[in-house]
């Protein structure tokens, strides 16, 4: 067997494994993965724009982002209406919410302490930048919320 | 993680009742199949209500399905 065929077999095997894993997930687990991907991506992009982007001080992200969030939320709620949430899903959601809120509180406390040492930097930012910064913290806490849910679902399946 | 100290005989009881599928048990108890999988693997401790639902589905007492593992 050639090296190329070996690689093909490995890829095919991984594809089958991923397919089986996807089939073993319930709808809530898939939603948790989707939330993790979406909030993680937004947190990464927004963080990059805020601290390394050229126009990080002027980017008006909050308005469109909240609309996107609202539309996405309503879309999922409407689609999930027929789906029963069982007690394990509720318990896992509760773990995620606890972790998300704890992270948000911690980040706000740390930011409020750290900001005192960066008075000049903060004073040079616009109101939009500060609003985006707060939204970035919310995105990070949502990512953690989703990551904790994904971790619990994965642990239950092992 | 080692899971929960509550063991169960759900798998045995399913097979003793005509190889009942996990999905059938899940439907009878009002939970998802993934919850039954987690229960059988000892990864999840059910609420009292779910424990009674499972026991009633098998037509036995709760203590015949669940036990405390030291």
Question: What's the pLDDT score for residue A61?
Answer: 67
A–B CB contacts, 8 A cutoff, strictly below: 40
Local confidence band at B39 (pLDDT 50, 70, 90 cut-offs): very high
> Inter-chain contact B30–A86, Cβ cutoff 8 Å?
yes
- Give yes or no for a contact between B42 and B5, defined as CB atoms under 8 angstroms apart: no
Is A14 in the B-facing interface, judged by CB distances under 8 Å? no
Closest listed residue to residue A28, CA positions, set A95, A123, A122, A104: A95
For residue A15, being part of any structural domain is answered with no
For residue A62, being part of any structural domain is answered with yes
Local confidence band at B51 (pLDDT 50, 70, 90 cut-offs): very high
Is A29 in the B-facing interface, judged by CB distances under 8 Å? yes
Chain B residues whose beta carbon lies within 8 Å of the beta carbon of residue A88: 31-32, 34-35, 38, 44
Number of domains in chain A: 1
Given a cut of 50, the residues of chain A with pLDDT beneath it are: none
Closest listed residue to residue A133, CA positions, set A96, A107, A113, A100: A107
- Give yes or no for a contact between A143 and A43, defined as CB atoms under 8 angstroms apart: yes
C-alpha distance from B17 to closest chain A C-alpha (Å)? 24
For the packed helices B33-40 and B22-29, what is the interaxial angle rounded to 10 degrees? 110
What is the rounded CA–CA span in Å between residue B2 and residue B10?
A: 18
For residue A150, being part of any structural domain is answered with yes
Question: What's the pLDDT score for residue A9?
Answer: 79
pLDDT tens-digit readout, A52-76: 876 555 566 666 777 777 787 777 6
For residue A145, being part of any structural domain is answered with yes
Question: What's the pLDDT score for residue B1?
Answer: 42
Tell me the residue range of the domain where A149 lies: 26-157
Is B55 in the A-facing interface, judged by CB distances under 8 Å? no
pTM over 0.80: no
The interface predicted TM-score (ipTM) is 0.80
User: What does residue A43 show for φ and ψ, rounded to 5 degrees?
Assistant: -60, -45
What is the pLDDT averaged over residues B20-34? Answer: 93
Question: Residue B34: closest CA among chain A residues belongs to which residue?
Answer: A26
Chain B residues whose beta carbon lies within 8 Å of the beta carbon of residue A33: none
For residue A50, being part of any structural domain is answered with yes
Percent of chain B past pLDDT 90, that is, above it, reads 76
More confident residue, A123 or B2: A123
In chain B, the domains with their CATH numbers are 6-58 (1.10.260.40)
């Amino acid at each position: 067997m050639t090296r190329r065929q070996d690689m093909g077999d490995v890829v095919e095997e991984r594809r089958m494994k991923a397919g089986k894993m996807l089939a073993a997930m319930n709808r809530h687990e898939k939603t948790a993965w989707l939330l993790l991907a979406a909030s993680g991506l937004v947190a990464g992009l927004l963080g990059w724009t805020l601290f390394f982007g050229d126009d990080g001080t002027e980017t008006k992200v909050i308005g469109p982002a909240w609309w996107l969030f609202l539309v996405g939320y309503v879309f999922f709620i409407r689609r999930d209406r027929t789906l029963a949430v069982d007690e394990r899903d509720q318990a896992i959601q509760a773990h995620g919410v606890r972790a998300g809120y704890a992270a948000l509180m911690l980040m706000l406390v740390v930011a409020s302490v750290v900001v005192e040492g960066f008075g000049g930097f903060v004073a040079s930012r616009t109101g939009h930048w500060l609003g985006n910064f707060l939204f970035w913290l919310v995105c990070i806490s949502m990512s953690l919320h989703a990551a904790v849910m994904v971790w619990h679902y994965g642990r239950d399946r092992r | 993680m080692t899971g929960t100290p509550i063991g169960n005989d759900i798998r045995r009881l399913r097979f003793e009742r005509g190889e009942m599928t996990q999905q059938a048990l899940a439907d009878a108890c009002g939970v998802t199949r993934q919850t039954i999988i987690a229960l059988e693997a000892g990864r999840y401790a059910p609420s009292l209500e779910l424990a009674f639902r499972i026991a009633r589905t098998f037509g036995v007492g709760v203590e015949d399905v669940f036990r405390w593992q030291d």
